[in-house]
Amino acid sequence: MSRYDLTDFEWRVIEPLLPNKSRGVPRVDDRRVLNGIFWVLRSGAPWRDLPERYGPRTTCYNRFVRWRKAGVWDRMMDAVTAAHDGDIQIIDSTSVRAHQQAATAKRGIEIIVSVAPEAGLRPKSTRSSMRRGSRSVSA
């Protein structure tokens, strides 16, 4: 079992929710494909770097996209949350990063305010301490 693989409990909850329309060709093992999808999503690696133990990367990618359009992922998340009786917390991995100097702002910094351009003039930026009437406009 790999780091990102589903546990047996999670698989028992998710398995009945998966579409199981079998066409002419036998399906690749759903659990293996799901583990491959989760590996890509959790590791942040591109689909082309998917390890071979999860099967063909095109199968994993195509199934991920097809299930997203069909709403399968939403049903799975609702089922997993319900199975844990609301004791599960999902944290989004997006983050907002600020420049390292953003945390150490000094007092008295002059803020540059962009002034709306008048008709026919180039846009200009002025310091907020300047009065608007003191600008000279050449014709």
Q: Please state the three-class secondary structure of 37-65 as a single string.
A: HHHHHHHCCCHHHCCHHHCCHHHHHHHHH
Name the DSSP class of 7.
Answer: P
Average pLDDT over residues 65-72: 91
Residue 7 pLDDT: 87
Residue 83 pLDDT: 73
Residue 131 pLDDT: 54
Average pLDDT over residues 36-51: 91
> Which band of pLDDT confidence, cut at 50, 70 and 90, is reported for residue 53?
very high
Residue type, 29: D
> Which band of pLDDT confidence, cut at 50, 70 and 90, is reported for residue 61?
very high
Question: CA 50: distance to chain centroid?
Answer: 18
User: Residue 67 in contact with residue 36, Cβ under 8 Å?
Assistant: no
User: Residue 110 in contact with residue 128, Cβ under 8 Å?
Assistant: yes
| pTM, full prediction | 0.57
